[in-house]
Amino acid sequence: MQSLQHVNQQFALTDKLQFSQNAHGLIIAEITSAQASARISLSGAHLLSWQPADLDTPAIWLSEQANLIPGKSIRGGIPVCWPWFGPHPQDGTLPAHGFARTSQWQVTHSGIANDVITLGFELQSSDSNYPCSARLEYKIGPQLELTLTTHNHGSQALTISEAMHTYFHISDIADIQLQGLNNVAYWDKVSNHPATMTQQQAVQFSAETDRVYINSPQACTIHDPGLKRDIQINKTGSLSTVVWSPWYEKAERMGDLGANNGWRQMVCVESANAFDNTLILAPDQTHTLNVNYQVKKLDDF
């Protein structure tokens, strides 16, 4: 595991990128530029916050009850689900959403250009069933960009699923709309329906919602009149879009979404390859998933 001293010596960028360590030993990259601020945990290569400088409120939601402890999954931010999404396809005893989100990643590089900060991570799988590696590069500025590249190092075809499980900060789940998925078929994970449901119009929320929209490479927009902003999600290399709100009862059961109805201020819109869009990588093949988030103030239009 890289030490705090090592990452600061190798990758700090004067006052724009410094690494700190909390009381639990979690090392966090702290990014502050004229354009944006962000924090990324080395455990999980997990983004905890991102706020463009011209916004009053964060773009990304993090639970006030999030466990900022190495090796624990973190509620909120951007968990990286890899090399499987949801329950493991064969072995239900393995952790949901794969091991990447609770693994210690290595920092590989950092840089700055036009006040946009780049920070790169790598994870080599030590699971013999997954002879592969992941590289994840963040670009942090007025837009947030993540590029996740999977490489199959094995001699057999490798099946993986994945998601950037992003928790967006919103005004209120009942008041937003998710646009861009009109006419797209989805699996409804709440009712266990097969993918025969088809989205009509924008997605609106009035109950627990847990859906995997398949064959959905298109951009989406979270329209949030309460915060007077749209969050635009553009992606490549992702054919699925997961949309999740736990709503009241599941939030109660989960117990880590924060007091004061914390679940109302979040929605997950996940750029993924899952279900029908699960990937099969040939030996030595790579696959790259790229997502870009941009917040547009509605006053700008």
Question: Which residue ranges make up the site for ligand BG6 (CB under 6 A)?
Answer: 73, 96-97, 165, 189, 210, 242, 244, 270
Query: Rounded distance, CA 191 to CA 39, Å?
Result: 36
Q: Which is nearer to ligand BG6, 52 or 86 (CB)?
A: 86
Query: In angstroms, how far apart are the furthest CA atoms of the chain?
Result: 54
Q: How far is the CB of 178 from ligand BG6 (least distance, A)?
A: 14
The β-bridge relationship of strands 193-198 and 279-281 is unpaired
CB 95 within 8 A of CB 83: no
Choosing from 97, 151, 165, 169, which is the catalytic residue? 165
Nearer to ligand BG6, 97 or 151 (CB): 97
Sign of the four-CA dihedral 245, 180, 176, 174? negative
Q: Helix or strand or coil: residue 250?
A: helix
Pick between residue 145 and residue 188 the one whose CB is nearest to ligand BG6: 188
Check: CB of residue 285 under 8 Å from CB of residue 167. Answer: no
Please indicate whether residue 208 is annotated as part of the active site: no
Strand partners, 124: 133
- Tell me the closest approach of the beta carbon of residue 183 to ligand BG6, in angstroms: 21
Q: Please indicate whether residue 165 is annotated as part of the active site.
A: yes
Amino acid identity at 212: V
Of the candidates 162, 169, 270, 287, the residue annotated as catalytic is 270
Cα–Cα distances (Å) from 23 to 26, 69, 85, 256, 257, in that order, read: 7, 9, 30, 20, 22
Q: Are 61 and 50 in contact (CB under 8 A)?
A: no
What is the nearest approach in angstroms of ligand BG6 to the Cβ of residue 211? 8
**Distance between CA atoms of residues 169 and 263, nearest Å:** 10
| Residue placing its CB nearer to ligand BG6 in the complex, 137 or 210 | 210
Q: What is each CA distance from 182 to 85, 185, 243, in whole angstroms?
A: 24, 9, 13
CB of 185 to ligand BG6, least distance (A): 16
Decide the pairing of beta strands 158-160 and 279-281. Answer: antiparallel
Smallest gap from Cβ 165 to ligand BG6, in A, equals 5
Q: Which is nearer to ligand BG6, 139 or 250 (CB)?
A: 250
For tokens 């994840």, the residue is 136
Nearer to ligand BG6, 64 or 284 (CB): 64
Q: How far is the CB of 74 from ligand BG6 (least distance, A)?
A: 9
- 292: tokens are 């870009």
Which are the catalytic amino acids? Answer: 165, 270
